[in-house]
Amino acid sequence: MPQPRESGSSVGSSGRPGPTPLGYDMQRNGHAREAETITPPDAALPLEGLVVADFSRVLAGPLATLALADLGARVIKVERTGTGDDTRQWGPPFSESSSTYFDAVNRNKESIALDLGSADDVKVAVALAERADILVENFRSGVMDRLGLGYDAISARNPRIIYASVTGFGSGAGAAMPGYDFVVQALGGLMSVTGAADGPGMKSGVALVDVLTGKDLVAGVLAALLSRSASGRGSRIELDLLSSSLGALANQAQAWLGAGVLPGRLGNVHPSIAPYQTLRCADGDLAVACGTDGQFRQLVDALGVPELVADERFVANSARVVNRVQLVDLLEARLATDTAANWERALGERGVPAGHVASIAEGIELAERLGLDPTLEVISSSGDRRGRQIRNSVRWTPALPVRSAAPPLLDEHGDSIRTWLGASPRHTNGKVQAS
Q: Report which residue type is found at 173.
A: A
Q: 423: exposed, middle or buried (C-beta count within 10 Å: 0-12, 13-18, 19+)? A: buried
CB 277 within 8 A of CB 269: yes
3-class DSSP string for 96-159: CCCEHHHHHCCCCEEEEEECCCCHHHHHHHHHHHHHCCEEEECCCCCHHHHCCCCHHHHHHHCC
> Using DSSP, how many helices (H) and how many strands (E) does the chain show?
15, 17
Tell me how far CA of residue 370 lies from CA of 114, 311, 373, 398, in angstroms: 44, 38, 8, 20
Query: Contact, 221 vs 68, CB < 8 A?
Result: yes
Length of the chain: 435
Are 56 and 62 in contact, with CB atoms under 8 Å apart? Answer: yes
Which residue among the candidates 210, 216, 411, 415 is catalytic per the annotation? 210
Answer whether 18's CB lies under 8 Å from 74's CB: yes
**Residue 285 annotated as catalytic:** no
Give the span between the Cα atoms of 364 and 137, in whole angstroms: 32
Number of alpha carbons in the 13 Å side-chain half-sphere of residue 360: 5
Q: What angle do CA 11, 135, 109 make, to 5 degrees?
A: 70
From first CA to last CA, the distance across the chain in angstroms is 16
Residues 6+ apart with CB under 8 A from 259: none
What is the rounded distance in angstroms from the CA atom of residue 190 to the CA atom of residue 186? 6
407 Cβ contact partners less than 8 Å away, ≥ 6 residues apart: 97, 98, 102, 103, 106, 107, 109, 378, 386
What's the chain's Rg over C-alpha atoms?
A: 25
Burial class (CB in 10 A: 0-12, 13-18, 19+), 229: exposed
Active site residues: 210
